[in-house]
């Protein structure tokens, strides 16, 4: 699946457009994305920090693309998620990398990490499960 097609599919999903992210790399078991900072992503207006729900949603979207990169209209359906917030996400771009750790007939498990300036200093990490049927 080429990046142009994947990004075209991403732009068809209204919430993905709201998040305003782009897929930077994708293969059958991995996706890398970058989200541009927008004022609507702010959760703490005094310190201009990302809202935790925006971070989790961005990571979920990245995980859904890793599970099913060839989606045309509807991305994979999440059934469970766990997110650990490790440090505040400040104004600036946010990156995520999703790795499919297991993909069975009905359920897929995906590990996701999100960071800003250095991959070694993650902002959040999560585990997502998707229904495949």
| Domain extents in the chain | 3-131
pTM here is: 0.94
pLDDT digits (tens, 9 = 90+) for 25-43: 999 899 999 999 999 999 9
Residue 80 and residue 108 in contact, taking contact as beta carbons nearer than 8 Å: no
pLDDT digits (tens, 9 = 90+) for 9-26: 999 999 999 999 999 999
Q: What angle do CA 12, 16, 18 make, to 5 degrees?
A: 110
Number of H helices, E strands in the chain: 3, 8
Strand bridging mode 42-44 / 49-50: antiparallel
pLDDT digits (tens, 9 = 90+) for 59-93: 999 999 999 988 866 778 999 999 999 999 999 99
Contacts of 51 (CB under 8 A, 6+ apart): 41, 42, 43, 44
Of the CATH numbers 3.40.50.10490, 3.40.50.720, 3.20.20.10, 3.10.129.10, which one belongs to the domain with range 3-131? 3.10.129.10
Q: What confidence category does residue 102 fall into, taking pLDDT thresholds of 50, 70 and 90?
A: very high
């Amino acid at each position: 699946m080429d990046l142009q097609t994947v990004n075209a599919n991403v732009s068809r999903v209204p919430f993905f457009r709201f998040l305003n992210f782009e897929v930077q790399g994708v293969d059958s078991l991995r996706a890398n994305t970058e989200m541009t900072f927008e004022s609507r992503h702010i959760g703490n207006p005094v310190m201009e920090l990302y809202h935790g729900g925006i971070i989790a949603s961005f990571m979920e979207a990245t995980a859904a693309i890793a599970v099913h990169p060839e989606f045309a209209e509807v991305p994979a359906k999440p059934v469970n998620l766990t997110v650990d917030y490790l440090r505040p996400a400040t104004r600036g771009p946010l990156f995520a990398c999703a790795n499919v750790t297991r993909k069975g007939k009905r359920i897929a498990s995906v590990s996701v990490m999100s960071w800003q300036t250095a991959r070694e200093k993650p902002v959040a990490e999560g585990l997502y499960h998707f229904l495949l049927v």
